[in-house]
Amino acid sequence: MIVPLGHVLILAGLLFVAGLAGVLLRRNLIMILIGVEIMLNAVSLTLVGASAYWRHPDGQLFALLLMAVAAAEVTVALALVIYLKRSRGTLDVNRFDGMKG
């Protein structure tokens, strides 16, 4: 592996910004969740790169914990998606403008 650390970081940054743009631009709730997933993966790539840079296992360990947290987040978020689809009949986030449940 002869890649500089900076290139791994730049790749992770590009992925993160792509996910952020997806979160900000898409109006479908499922696409917003997919954007969040992409951002989490970018962070995970950074952690693995840092683990290789410092020759230390902590980065890879934390990437696994991040994966578990992402699984928990997706579970709750998709349950909310189903709930919202049932109660409002749409997934367009522009239509979710009331506080009443």
CB-count exposure of residue 44 (10 Å: 0-12, 13-18, 19+): buried
Task: Assess 63 for contact with another protein (CB under 8 A).
Answer: yes
Decide if 16 contacts 6 (C-beta within 8 A).
no
Task: Assess 36 for contact with another protein (CB under 8 A).
Answer: no
Task: Assess 88 for contact with another protein (CB under 8 A).
Answer: no
Task: Assess 82 for contact with another protein (CB under 8 A).
Answer: yes
Decide if 70 contacts 37 (C-beta within 8 A).
yes
* Distance (Å, whole) CA 77 – CA 97: 18
Q: Which residues sit at the interface with another protein, rule CB under 8 A?
A: 1-11, 13-15, 17-22, 24-28, 30-31, 33-35, 37-38, 41, 44-45, 48-49, 51-53, 55-58, 60-61, 63-65, 67-76, 78-83, 85-86, 91-92
